[in-house]
Amino acid sequence: MSVPFKRANILLPKNAEMEKWAVVACDQYTSEPEYWKEVENIVGDAPSTLKITLPEIYLEQDNVAERIANINKEMDHLLSTDFFKTLDNSLIYLERTGADGKVRKGLIGMVDLEDYSYEKGSQSLIRATEGTVLERIPPRVKVRENASLELPHVMLLIDDEKKEIIEGLTDKVTSEDVVYDFDLMQNGGHVKGYKVPENLMDGIFNGLEELANKDNFEAKYDVKDKGVLLFSVGDGNHSLATAKACYENLKKTMSEEKAKNSPARYALVEVVNLHSDALEFEPIHRVVFGVEPAKMIEEFEKYYDVSRTPGEGQKVEYVYEGKNETLYIKNPKSNLAVGSLQMFIDAYIKEHGGKVDYIHGDDVTKELGSKPGNIGFLLPPMAKTDLFKTVILDGALPRKTFSMGHSYDKRYYLEARKIK
């Protein structure tokens, strides 16, 4: 079968200061304006992906339309001034060394959005791993709909236990294939990218076809009558959902033939092996702002039958001013603690007000949760081996169930592709 992962015309800066060019994914540090101020200081007047992406901390500000117009203008400026070089019909193999010294290996190419769906229960080859918050798509569509470029922070996962498809490239690429090699700002570690040589392409695509083979798939997961799941969206699901929404909108305005060949039909992504030793599933915690914490916990204990005895149910730790305790849910409404907690938070906010944010890292959660009028909820991690089977059998996980590493381990914007 034909797999929905393709080579792409990948754009890279010809002569930029790469440390200033590459900036972390826009959906990080959404409650930490000081992080983004520091990025602005580092970048200064230099060309940077900061100027052609919209950090989501600014998404609800009054001047967002102006920001988006400036982003589109800057994209057009870079394209018109011959700023980029193009790696035609290419894939990039990359090695990202994290702050902890572990190396995450990935493959940059593009996926066919016709084979992606974020609908729960979808049987498409590329699927969301988490519930997609539909209200989050329209504001992001505004950022992408008139953009001439895309820069990916989407990370797709493959379930390659043999570690052959991506890891098999490590000893085969050479120094002649290197297209970038530099340190990332703000504790991001180091990234090194190689243009995949022509003689290695067949091995990649044959390996993906083997994973997508229906007989192999059914034997591996012990399932029948389920659509093959080749790629799970590990990171950037709302970004990929936005690309899909923009493409679907565009399709309504053009002939079938034109839509079939439109660059907007595809999205640039990084593919990573679920079994990478460098890939750690971190829980995503919750901080609820603008509430009375003691009252919220009181309501929590009415919503569920809870215990304070370890092991008597799903574990949820909470922290607010002067308090740090753990509850165990004895009658959960979801298979995972995160799902049970999310149902309560949604119901509580609907009834009593407040605002929830999704936070990476225990320390930040505790710090924000301890401020007056806030409460932080800390969740246990999910075993990554459960991921594909859970998505195949149950559809998407609850939203913001897990994150792959800390905020500074996320993809940094670096490669670009024309979408107009």
| pLDDT tens, N- to C-terminus, the chain (420 residues) | 689 999 999 999 999 999 999 999 998 998 899 999 999 999 999 999 999 999 999 988 889 999 999 999 999 999 999 999 999 999 999 999 998 899 999 999 999 999 999 888 899 999 998 878 888 898 889 999 999 999 999 999 999 999 999 999 999 999 999 999 999 999 999 999 999 999 999 999 999 999 999 999 999 999 999 999 999 998 898 999 999 999 999 999 999 899 999 999 999 999 999 999 998 888 999 999 999 999 999 999 999 999 999 999 999 999 999 999 999 999 998 878 998 999 999 999 999 999 999 998 999 999 999 999 999 999 998 877 778 988 888 787 877 888 777 788 889 999 999 999
Q: Are residues 241 and 274 in the same domain?
A: yes
What is the domain count for the chain?
2
Q: Would 391 be classed as within a structural domain?
A: no
CB 191 within 8 A of CB 409: no
Q: Are residues 249 and 171 in the same domain?
A: yes
User: Residues 203, 300: one domain?
Assistant: no
- State the residue for tokens 């988006």: 68
Q: How far apart are CA 88 and CA 395, in angstroms?
A: 36
Could you list the residue range(s) of the whole structural domain that residue 295 is in? 283-382+398-404
336 and 215 within one domain: no
Q: Is residue 174 part of a domain?
A: yes
209 and 77 in a common domain: yes
Residue 390 maps to a domain: no
Instruction: Tell me whether residue 126 is in a domain.
Output: yes
**CB-count burial class (<10 Å; 0-12, 13-18, 19+) for 263:** middle
One domain for residues 252 and 292: no
The DSSP symbol for 342 reads H
Is residue 389 one of the residues assigned to a domain? Answer: no
Pair (174, 297) in one structural domain:
no
Q: Are 177 and 214 part of one and the same domain?
A: yes
Summary count for the chain: helices (H), strands (E): 12, 23
Map residue 275 onto helix, strand or coil.
Answer: coil
Residues 124 and 19 in one domain: yes
Vertex 44 angle, CA 40 and 50, to 5°: 50
Is 387 within a domain?
A: no
Write the single-letter amino acid at 275: H
Q: Are residues 183 and 329 in the same domain?
A: no
**262/354 same-domain check:** no
- Residue 190 in any domain: the answer is yes
Does the residue 355 lie in any domain? Answer: yes
C-alpha 45: how far from chain center: 28
If asked whether residues 318 and 180 sit together in one domain, one would say no
